[in-house]
Amino acid sequence: MKDNINQLIKPITTTVNSIGHLEIGGCDLVELAKEYKTPLYVIDEATLRGVCKSYREAFSDYEHVKFLYASKALCTSAITKILDDEEFGFDVVSDGELYTVYRTGVDMKKILFNGNNKSVDELKMAIDLEIGRISVDNFLELATLDKIADLKKKKVDILLRITPGIECHTHEYIQTGHLDSKFGFDMMQIDMAVDLIQNQYKNLNLKGLHAHTGSQIFETKVYCDEIEILINELVRIKKKFNIELKEINIGGGLGVRYTIHDNPPSVHDIAASIINSVKTHCEELNYPYPLIYLEPGRSIISTAGTTLYTVGSKKQVPNGRKYVSVDGGMADNPRPSLYQAEYTAQVANKANKDKNEKVTIAGRYCESGDILLNEIKMPKLEAGDILCVYNTGAYNYSMSSNYNRTSKPAMVLVNSGQSDIIVNRETLEDIIRNDVIPSRLR
């Protein structure tokens, strides 16, 4: 049976033990909360490795494919090490992500640097580390990159990122492929860019095209439409410029199941659509099969992650909602406030109890909009209960902040009954580490 992990709400190792506590990776979540304190990010190694295996198996019928983990979803040294072990490369979008991957010991040829406004220092760093590809987003970057490469006497392999004009049905903030987007060259600018690379920017080697349609995608057709556009462009560029580009990067964006109302296609569903679409269009247009880069992020890490909170105070609004507060919120998970994102939760120490009370889970931060879960059914909650929120591996830690001057949570990796710290909890000293009081104020 094929593993369709991105269609699961909970990690694959989730169970309830004999005393009614939730376990993930063979670890009692209540005990994890006691040992490491809360809020606490928990990553299930088996789920993470399982979804990587699913991607490799799903695309096994197409030999020209490379997987680049979209590091923006969650980038830590341990996560990078696991994904490197699982034969993934990395799509990075900042010097911080690039440095993390580099320090983990990853082969730099497996790296693609993406982003719409890379700094000069970031481009210099990418060239110095001799990464595999830079996805160039605009004309300024083309000129800047060529100049830096010339000074360093190096040739740089690039992709052109384009906006294919496809709108997927997702939140407008995470659509990236439609025409009105900050990312990439418009379709009408491609020829000018190719001409510059051919005739002026002699230090740049154009390898192919890159497009991305968005995130949390629930439609396989989006990928088919994107591939049709990319293959047609490869054919057109060959005819006009006599260049046979051999690579396409189709981005990532596969959705995951945060709640029972979400119905994303599986990894195997999109693989079948992508492979069939590439083969069909290439055969119809007599173009050689390209190397496909795929950039999954959310679908790789999201289901593997959960967040644990400790329940605190309660408030019943007369003739209104019942609020239950926890010791985290929008600083460790800003997605509900940003995107109105919804999640599924369970009480780790009352996993077998009936859900007979409707409550709103509020965060601890000084914002009325700091609501993690709105009007969900829970067992009767008391101070000290441990709340487990599922599917928080992607964009929770990576978007976390020190709002209200609070410390970022710790992160643990669980597997076969063992738990290991992979990100230390910040201390109060960490909070003030970079503060400086000018001498004139002393």
Task: List the catalytic residues.
Answer: 366
Nearest to 294 by CA among 107, 70, 2: 70
Q: 375 in the Ramachandran plot: left (φ > 0), alpha (ψ -120 to 50) or beta?
A: left
Q: Would you mind telling me the total number of residues written for the chain in this entry?
A: 442
* Neighbouring-strand partners of residue 325: 362
Asked whether 298 and 395 are in contact (CB, 8 A), the reply is yes
Nearest to 424 by CA among 100, 97, 74, 40: 40
Q: Report the interhelical angle of 45-58 vs 77-85 (nearest 10°).
A: 40
Asked whether 250 and 293 are in contact (CB, 8 A), the reply is yes
Between CA 34 and CA 36 the distance in angstroms is 6
SS (H, E, C) 52-75: HHHHHHHCCCCCCEEEEEEHHHCC
Question: Distance from CA of residue 313 to its chain's centroid?
Answer: 33
Asked whether 218 and 264 are in contact (CB, 8 A), the reply is yes
Nearest to 23 by CA among 346, 315, 247: 346
Pairing between β-strand 410-415 and β-strand 357-362 as defined by DSSP bridges: unpaired
Nearest to 352 by CA among 379, 387, 324: 379
| E strands, 188-339, in order | 204-210, 247-249, 291-294, 305-316, 322-326
Asked whether 211 and 161 are in contact (CB, 8 A), the reply is yes
Q: 151 in the Ramachandran plot: left (φ > 0), alpha (ψ -120 to 50) or beta?
A: alpha
Question: Distance from CA of residue 29 to its chain's centroid?
Answer: 24
Q: Would you tell me how many other CB atoms lie within 10 Å of the CB of residue 37?
A: 14
Nearest to 7 by CA among 259, 249, 211: 259
